[in-house]
Structure 1
Amino acid sequence: MSTPTPGPVRPGRTGGPLTGAVHSYDLSVGVDGPGTRFVAFLAGCPLRCRFCHSPDTWYRRSGRHRTVDELMAEVAKYRRFITVAGGGVTVSGGEPLLQPRFTGEVLRRCHDLGLHTALDTSGFLGARADDALLDATDLVLLDVKSRDPATYRRVTRTGEIAPTLRFGRRLADRGTPIWIRFVLVPGLTDDEANVAGVADFAAELATVQRVEVLPFHRLGAHKYAELGITFPLAGTEPPGAELLDRVRGQFAARGLTVY
């Protein structure tokens, strides 16, 4: 993973180029959208999910100020490679819709180059995504943390599920392809009724192409230690094969393609 060095331009400078707080960028295969992808991780997130594996992206100050041109110069280094590999560019985070102008311009510039574009978001700030941003987005990776409002609050420690539901329906209404992501955490998100609610929501969206059931892991625990933060799920074990099969089966029973 690459971490950008500080740029010379401060965000919000009047008359200056558009800048964003970029935490890092990396190449990934098959986990942030189709094919090999350049993934830009933006800094800042309004949620504090108990299973978050990237607490180092929570605050915008953890990023480096980069202009759109500077980030696009990094994309250009890999443009031919990701095109040949059937990939594209994904803007992730943190939460990219915390910086909607920067995110929208990066997506537009990539789209204009003929690159496949994806937005990785919780949907909590979906109202900040204007039509121009979504017009430049070929795929939305929508992280649905829970369908039950009380469980959603326990997971995120803030916020409501309603904005994500509205955003998902808006995407479907405008024909935007969606991959639903659901993190399976034993004792937190695995309740059958909660899973059924997420599955019902995914099934009602005509543009959902797949559902990814992501098993909880503790690979980011060292980041909490480095930041001096207590990892809330330090004592939670990853889900076993039986639980994974049951949850994936609940989604498949709704006619959804499940991974």
Structure 2
Amino acid sequence: MAKVELEAQIEDQSQFPLGRVHSIETMGTVDGPGTRLVVFVQGCPMRCAYCHNPDTWSLQAGTPVSVEHVMGTFESNWQFYRNGGITVSGGEPLLQPEFVAALFGQAHARPAGRVHTCLDTCGYAYTPDSPERFDALLRATDLVLLDIKHADPEGHRVLTERSMDRILAFGDELARRNIKTVIRHVVVPGYTDSVEECEKLGRLIAPWHNVVGLEMLPYHTMGVVKYEQLGIPYKLEGVPQMDKGRIPELRAAVLRAMKGARASE
């Protein structure tokens, strides 16, 4: 069957918007609490220098997947997810808010019991001038893993080729709605591994009192092989993997600056 015909058939059988999906991990343990079903959607507007999934960039790639299919996959392994739930990662989930909203809505309405939902996002696809497009999604989101790539606007543009304005607007919206949020920050040697940058991150996130966690993720080079396979130049060629031994010091710098900023509010 031709791909176009297959997509039409899937759409006819679905009650909800289809999602463009890169892959589904059935036993995720690092994308939210507990063991989780993790849906990696296709498409991302950012071009992070250290991205380890460049094959997710194109929104036109991937496979059309229905909400029913994802929930069916969840149900087939539900006993493993009792202390976990469903996470949508990427790529960038905010490029497909209708699909993710429908999925999270079904997870919450599950007859056998409500399922915890988690959104793993960089926030860049959020559009502050049309927040209503994201309302259903955010109302059905229990936890957000928000990736802050760099605390400085110019450093952010160098590292991602994008502005951080939309990301900060999204963070403000999460705080306004009081949605529990874990901040994730990839620590890259020579880019985001200084105490000064980490302190700036702490001051940046201090106004968001909905932040319930901080994950400092050491940069690694495991994704380099994908760039070679796709024929894409790797921007951080020669940058070594981050020394994990420095992570506690840098995490403490973020928390110290955040606490200091809140004390002066």
Q: 2-side partners of 1:41 and 1:64: how far apart?
A: 11
Q: TM-score, normalised by structure 1?
A: 0.88
**CA distances 1:173-232 after superposition (whole Å, capped 9, x unpaired):** 111000000000011122333222211122221111110000000011111111111221
1:225–1:10 CA distance, 2 compared to 1 (3 A):
farther
Q: Give 3-state SS (helix, strand or coil) of 1:243's partner.
A: helix
**Runs (5+) with no aligned partner, structure 1:** none
Q: Give 3-state SS (helix, strand or coil) of 2:60's partner.
A: helix
1:214–1:6 CA distance, 2 compared to 1 (3 A):
farther
**CA distances 1:94-130 after superposition (whole Å, capped 9, x unpaired):** 0011111111111111121200000000011223652
Q: Counterpart amino acid of 1:126?
A: Y
Aligned counterpart in structure 1 of residue 139 of structure 2, from 128, 135, 142: 135
Q: Which residue of 2 aligns with 1:165?
A: 168
Q: Which residue of 1 aligns with 2:45?
A: 46
Q: Which residue of 1 aligns with 2:36?
A: 37
Q: 2-side partners of 1:193 and 1:112: how far apart?
A: 45
Query: Once the two structures are aligned, what percentage of the paired residues are identical?
Result: 38
Q: TM-score, normalised by structure 2?
A: 0.86
Q: Given that residues 51 and 233 in structure 1 are in contact (C-alpha distance below 8 angstroms), is that contact kept between their aligned partners in structure 2?
A: yes
1:214–1:64 CA distance, 2 compared to 1 (3 A):
same
Q: 2-side partners of 1:167 and 1:108: how far apart?
A: 20
Q: Counterpart amino acid of 2:52?
A: H
Give runs of aligned pairs for residues 15-34 of structure 1, distance below 5 A.
Answer: 17=15, 18-34=17-33
Q: 1-side partners of 2:18 and 2:37: how far apart?
A: 19
Q: 1-side partners of 2:71 and 2:11: how far apart?
A: 20
2:176 aligned with 1:177, yes or no? no
2:47 aligned with 1:65, yes or no? no
Q: Counterpart amino acid of 1:236?
A: V
Q: Counterpart amino acid of 1:136?
A: A
Give runs of aligned pairs for residues 190-201 of structure 1, distance below 5 A.
Answer: 190-201=193-204
Q: Given that residues 119 and 137 in structure 1 are in contact (C-alpha distance below 8 angstroms), is that contact kept between their aligned partners in structure 2?
A: yes
**Runs (5+) with no aligned partner, structure 2:** 261-265
Q: Which residue of 1 aligns with 2:101?
A: 104
Q: 1-side partners of 2:79 and 2:6: how far apart?
A: 28
Which deviates the most, 6-15 or 30-39? 6-15
Q: Which residue of 1 aligns with 2:77?
A: 78
